[in-house]
A and B are shown apart, each in its own frame.
Chain A
Amino acid sequence: QKEVEQDPGPLSVPEGAIVSLNCTYSNSAFQYFMWYRQYSRKGPELLMYTYSSGNKEDGRFTAQVDKSSKYISLFIRDSQPSDSATYLCAMSPQGGSEKLVFGKGTKLTVNP
């Protein structure tokens, strides 16, 4: 079993849809969870950062962590064409500045 599993998609939705992106993991030592967004031909940029279990909201984005199920999610409300990108989950036992384990990324297209 891979340490981090992420459905690569691709995922195509109409503008305004609610998008759900997910990752599962196997290492119970992971405590810090991140979502990065990567536009085509660019480097990843941090979108959301959560510690342990719970929810975190930032505008149209909500990150959820369920450590008991080893499952993390990113929800995008009222999706926009500008949200079209690849979304990468990442996680670490010790924090975001340390060695991260990444999912393979999910490619999202939001159609106008």
Chain B
Amino acid sequence: DVKVTQSSRYLVKRTGEKVFLECVQDMDHENMFWYRQDPGLGLRLIYFSYDVKMKEKGDIPEGYSVSREKKERFSLILESASTNQTSMYLCASSRWGGPQETQYFGPGTRLLVL
């Protein structure tokens, strides 16, 4: 079974703090993704990575950065948290290969920025 784990289920931070969200997958997947999910807006892609040390901007990268130093780990960084970054953050991973491959999601981190 593919397992994608996220470091925290719930997180409360203050405006201006630097926030790290960690994601680890145990299936040797090449691709990893960070989404945020908001009511009425659905899932929106923040950043993704096809390989170690590689990153690509998604649809809403502003205010975020990422790090992928090891294949199994993909970190999302909020350099200076703001209240509009209060959201559910979802990490996903997938195997690089044929079109039948799909994304597997972690349980999510609910972030509240005060």
Bound complex: CA A46 to CA B103 (Å): 8
Asked whether any CB of chain B lies closer than 8 Å to the CB of A70, the reply is no
How far is the CB of B8 from the nearest CB of chain A, in Å?
13
How many A-B residue pairs lie within 8 Å, measured between CB atoms?
Answer: 65
Q: Taking each of B4, B96, B99, B100, which has the highest tally of chain A beta carbons within 10 Å of its own beta carbon? A: B99
How far is the CB of B49 from the nearest CB of chain A, in Å?
12
Please give, as numbers and ranges, the residues of chain B lying within 8 Å of A46 by CB-CB distance: 102-104
Query: A11-19, A59-67, A72-80, A96-104: which lies at the B interface?
Result: A96-104
**Contacts A96-B94, A97-B95, A104-B42 hold; do A43 and B4 have CB atoms under 8 A apart?**
yes
Interface residues of A in 26-57 (CB under 8 A from B): 31-32, 34, 36, 41-46, 49, 51
Total interface residues on B, CB under 8 Å, equals: 27
Main secondary structure, interface of A, reads: loop
**Contacts A42-B107, A43-B107 hold; do A96 and B40 have CB atoms under 8 A apart?**
no
User: Contact between B101 and A88 (Cβ–Cβ < 8 Å)?
Assistant: no
Main secondary structure, interface of B, reads: loop
Asked whether any CB of chain A lies closer than 8 Å to the CB of B106, the reply is yes
User: Contact between B42 and A103 (Cβ–Cβ < 8 Å)?
Assistant: yes
Please give, as numbers and ranges, the residues of chain A lying within 8 Å of B42 by CB-CB distance: 6, 88, 102-105
User: Contact between A104 and B102 (Cβ–Cβ < 8 Å)?
Assistant: no
Bound complex: CA A96 to CA B33 (Å): 12
Bound complex: CA A43 to CA B42 (Å): 13
**Can you give 9 A-B contacts (C-beta < 8 A)?**
A44-B90, A46-B104, A51-B100, A94-B99, A96-B94, A96-B103, A97-B101, A99-B45, A100-B45
